[in-house]
A and B are shown apart, each in its own frame.
Chain A
Amino acid sequence: MPQPLRILLVDDESVRAAMVEEALGQEGHEVICHLQSPASLNDMVERHAPDVVIIDMESPDRDTLDSMSQLHRENPRPVVFFADQHDPDSMQAALKAGVSAYVVDGLVPTRVRAILEVAVARFDAFQSMRQELDRTRTQLADRKRIEKAKGMLMKHQDCDEPQAYQTLRKLAMDRGQRIGEVAGNVIDILEGLEKGL
């Protein structure tokens, strides 16, 4: 059983951070979470001396970590994970998931890889969760817009509800757009007309 590692997780997404923390904890690692501003990140790294730092690829705090590893040799070094040209697939996968990692010198690459695999899997899971949430939100918003557009069309064109819906559907098919998007356009145009534009 290899010795557990101290992992510093830098992430503003608290739900995602909790998912990654739990998964890495189950692997026997000690996870320290950092969710706040980067100015204290320096102190955090110095205080906890982590073996590995995991950070979102898109995080604005990345330069702070890059700099720490560049300026002070005792700080965690950037992992050569992205540089591993023998395995471009895993690099792409990690990039896609938005994971970057920084580790101390001398840590066995396979151990880092194992940690990243766990982190990447959680990132992926979080990503699909968020996409699902976005989809649900869009559907809700679409439904509201469609109702409103139908009402405006009925009033404006003096037609009944099925006819108004048919009009929206036809517009959507003609334009290759979602019916929700077309409804948005119709609202804009009809509101413009009402204001006398």
Chain B
Amino acid sequence: MSMPHAPERPRLTLGIVPLLDAALPIVAREGGFFAAEGLDVTLSRESAWSTLRDKLAAGMLDGAQLLAPLPLAMSLGASGPPCDVLAPLVLGRNGNTLVLSSYWAEGMATPLDGSPGGRDPAVNARDFAERLRRRGAPRPRLAMVHPFSGHHYQLRDWLTLGGLDPDRDVELVALPPSRMVEALEQGRIDGFCVGEPWGSQAAQRGGGHVVATGAQLWPDHPEKMLGVTRDWAGRHPATLAAMIRALVAAADWLAEAPEHRRQARDWLALPPYLDRALEHLPTLPLGEPPVAQRLTGLRPEVGEMARVVDHLSRQLDVPLRRGVVEACYSPVHFDAATHQERA
């Protein structure tokens, strides 16, 4: 029974970006969940999504933490060289914050705080649009992390809620997550949409205010996913299954007890991972408003990706073939892995 399931490739390198939703691979490694599945995993911290993407496509990484739209964008050849990529597991849901400088955000409601503006993201968005009209030029410069990201799409949706045209009324730029807070404090950008811990860090340092969150705009939407190339998955089915089981075990362990989340926070704060970016967080704030970061619900579902498909198809100006989308976000590998016995 155990032999057919032994991982074909026990030593793996997975790419991550220093963000709170890199937690599952980090916990799976530091907590021994990968080891329990017979995997010796090295986590390689990458400084840009483009680098992660290119290394995954070129076979320099076995798998990677990817922005949820990236596997599809890569499969379509819209981002980097065309490369069929699968997203067999959701690494995190929610976690994005839309932060504006104090100049733009003054007096706006905090998301999910129970006030009308907290419940309905359109309230702050309309307020922003009104301020923009009243103040006139120059156009505010808003940053996101990558053109094929939930951050970019959620930012566009929020602006649209306020009646603004994301392509004309503001200037959109991409910055690395770790540089957003500094850029905002120096006035080089007016706001940004980014994953944790960077949004809460900006709010805590006082340079910006959280005026909307991904949890409010796209509730419980998959934000990061595990990505492997289809070619790799075909050659290493047992390894992929073991990897999926280890990540599920890490998520279960995290959900078990508050001590586990504090322990995980300390692992994430190790220098190879998030290092000092976590200084303002005493534990992993899972499920807490306004961010409502979730590291549960790991099974992907094609139906959940409708918003991503819609944005991507408008962005590329082509209708997307359903087969490509289904191949990309299929739960088949997840189901196969979680129904198997351990090796």
Contacts and interface: CB of A to CB of B under 8 A. Distances in A.
Given A80-B81, A95-B60, A67 B47 contact: no
Contacts of A92: 58
B183 interface: yes
Contact of A61 (B48, B58, B186): B48
Interface string B171-183: 0111110110001
B176 to A, nearest CB: 4
Interface string A159-183: 0000000000000000000000000
Given A37-B179, A39-B175, A61-B48, A78 B80 contact: yes
Interface string B59-80: 0100000000000000001011
Contact of B175 (A38, A70, A82, A83): A38
B51 A62 contact: yes
A97 B307 CA distance: 38
A63 B146 contact: yes
A3 interface: no
Given A60-B178, A71-B147, A82-B81, A91 B58 contact: yes
A59 interface: yes
Given A95-B58, A95-B60, A63 B49 contact: yes
A82 B58 contact: yes
A59 B46 CA distance: 9
Given A39-B188, A78-B80, A80-B81, A63 B175 contact: yes
Interface in A64-99: 64-68, 70-71, 78, 80, 82-83, 85, 91-92, 95
Contacts of B340: none
Contacts of A61: 48, 176
B175 A58 contact: no
B54 A95 contact: yes
B261 to A, nearest CB: 29
Nearest to B180: A39
A181 B60 CA distance: 29
A24 to B, nearest CB: 22
A63 B176 contact: yes
Interface residues of B, number: 33
B276 to A, nearest CB: 16
B145 interface: yes
B172 A66 contact: no
Contacts, number: 87
Given A66-B146, A92-B58, A60 B80 contact: no
A62 B50 contact: yes
B176 A38 contact: yes
A92 B54 CA distance: 11
A23 interface: no
Contacts of B57: 82
A165 B293 CA distance: 56
Contacts of B172: 67, 71
B238 interface: no
A71 B315 CA distance: 9
Contacts of B148: 70
B50 A66 contact: yes
A38 B55 CA distance: 22
Contacts of B50: 62-63, 65-66, 100
Interface in B157-187: 172-176, 178-179, 183, 186
B82 interface: yes
Contact of B80 (A37, A38, A82): A82
A26 B172 CA distance: 37
A68 to B, nearest CB: 8
B53 to A, nearest CB: 9
Contacts of B178: 60
Interface of A: 37-40, 42, 57-68, 70-71, 78, 80, 82-83, 85, 91-92, 95, 100
26 contacts: A38-B175, A39-B179, A39-B183, A39-B188, A57-B51, A58-B51, A60-B179, A61-B48, A62-B50, A63-B146, A63-B176, A64-B175, A64-B176, A65-B50, A66-B49, A66-B50, A66-B79, A66-B146, A67-B147, A67-B174, A70-B147, A71-B172, A82-B81, A83-B77, A95-B60, A100-B50
The 3 closest A-B CB pairs, nearest first, are: A67-B174, A83-B81, A70-B147
Interface of B: 46-51, 54-55, 57-58, 60, 77, 79-82, 144-148, 172-176, 178-179, 183, 186, 188-189, 315
